[in-house]
A = this chain, B = another copy of it.
Amino acid sequence: MATKDTHSGIDGRRFWSTVMRSGDIGPGKAGGLCRLALTDADKEMRDLFITWCTEVGCTVQVDRVGNIFARRPGAEDHLPPVLMGSHLDTQFAGGKYDGIVGVLAGLEVLRTLDDRRLRTKRPLELVCWTNEEGARFTPPMVASGAFAGVFPVDWVLALRDDDGKVFGSELERIGYNGKTAVGGRGIDAYFELHIEQGPILDKEAVPVGIVVGGYATRGMHVDILGETAHAGPTPMNRRRNALVGAAMLAVAVNDIGWKYHATEGKATVARLVAWPNKAGILSEYAQLTCDVRHAEKPVAEQMLAEVKAAIPDCARRANVEMRMASEWQFGNETFDPGCVRLIREAAQRLGVPHRDILSQAGHDAYYVSRIAPTAMIFTPCRDGISHNEAEHAEEDYTVPGVNVLLEAVLARANR
């Protein structure tokens, strides 16, 4: 394990106490966080984040989908900025580290430069992306996606959560409906530090993972259309229960995951909603949210094809209609070799043990990589547990990655 490198690098204590301070905002029920996008807790965290950024001399802009950009001017300030960042929102049962350490690592980089009164050649920007998790508004990573031109801004603003609340209205409610245009400007590079959310670094006691690619992920909402009827007299052969159709498809998707388990494929049934979904009545509507993931893109495509083949089969068996409501994909992206090399060189220079790694989760970096040279640094989390309030990371395991981020960003911004 690398030792702390506080004299030449960042202030590890300051960094970690900032992470702990964030961990007080939006407590979950079991020691973690429940800080959903565009809630009061999200607003409180955003406000504090902006205070911290302005304390180190940054100017702050918020774009129309609520992404926050804290800018530190460069010596040649007309040049496109080098971005760092991640997200501050969490899952319903989330940890204190997922996304958060990435944003606050970027803040610690800015604080360190401020301490040293160092001016980089290119400007730096620290970004907090809105609603990365997709926990409240699905799909995930909509705001970095909008920044990269993947999703139309108006479409993002019109998204609804499961209580019917609208993204744009909630953004306005918490005062983060910014005026800045979404994307459409030159970005020199983007660096994102994130906990691994897998067990490899923790098991191998390696503090830095250099992300060289991602699992190809294919996600979708499937709408299921049936008919309400009385749960008592309606004969089985006249039933069109959307909930049964959704359950059949859920089982089929899970089976596809197991079929590819030997090669580390995954298929996830994440969300099932139905209406009326009450005792005594059959449901006329259901929606299933699921995804498939595999390290090899052609295999992920095959898994997706198998899900699509299961849809008409389940529809027939449940006597309902099914149709694809929306689809998304991420994880095909390969990161920029130049940015990846800067991370590797920084780790080598600092003597930080490191290894190449694939990401199995989605990250804002995927979408940003479509419009700018991008790379990611992973840091360990205990047993790979994430999206669970038991998520845990250690200061000593995390600080080396932040120092690598500092070095890589400096090298890129000053080149």
Binding site for B on A (CB under 8 A): 91-93, 133-136, 138-140, 162, 196-199, 215, 217, 219, 227-237, 241, 243-244, 246-248, 250-251, 254, 257-258, 261, 264, 266-284, 289, 291, 293, 318, 359-362, 384-389
Contacts and interface: CB of A to CB of B under 8 A. Distances in A.
- Interface of A, secondary structure class, is loop
A258 to B, nearest CB: 5
A196 B275 CA distance: 24
Nearest to A241: B269
B139 A228 contact: no
Contacts of A318: 254
A362 B266 contact: no
B234 A266 contact: yes
For this chain, the copies found in one complex come to 2
Contacts of A140: 279-280
A271 B275 CA distance: 9
12 contacts: A91-B280, A92-B278, A228-B388, A233-B266, A236-B261, A236-B267, A243-B271, A244-B269, A247-B247, A270-B277, A270-B280, A271-B279
B227 A388 contact: yes
Given A361-B232, A386-B230, A387-B228, A271 B277 contact: yes
Contacts of A387: 228-231, 280-282
Of A135, A162, A219, A293, which is in contact with the most chain B CB atoms at under 10 Å from its CB? Answer: A135
Nearest to A286: B272
Contacts of A273: 277
A300 to B, nearest CB: 12
Contacts of A244: 250-251, 254, 269
B271 A278 contact: yes
A274 B243 CA distance: 13
